[in-house]
Structure 1
């Protein structure tokens, strides 16, 4: 099986996805717990549970990116071990 994206793009996607998962998980947890910084003002969202579930859906999307790009990166590693010539 051949990789779809380049090695640099695959590993960059892995790093960005990992950071996004961590940051969005923290933001989702803060919305879920109705933290006063995110749900205490007059212009803040009233339905924090809906916001938290939307943020957690974004975490699942980034987890999918992480798996796909990680597999693409591993395909590049496997291809390089075989001694193929890169043009």
Structure 2
């Protein structure tokens, strides 16, 4: 039986210069578990957020020939998240005008 998703959380570093390494480390932990403990052949970022200074990340198995998620994939995911948040906010503002 295969895992549907893997999650990890850790305290966000205070120094912004440490963020890229921090996120890369979270991905490394998840991808290692996906490969070595669950036999996945690839992964995709499924969720990312922050609660109370702790960052959480979720991956799910990749589809087809997708490789394991990278920091570039995470950046693309965050960009999509931000765009969706903007669209949701704009739709909310429009609804309040009606």
Query: Taking structure 2 as the reference length, what is the TM-score of the superposition?
Result: 0.37
Higher helix share: 1
Higher strand share: 2
- Structure with larger Rg: 1
Query: Taking structure 1 as the reference length, what is the TM-score of the superposition?
Result: 0.40
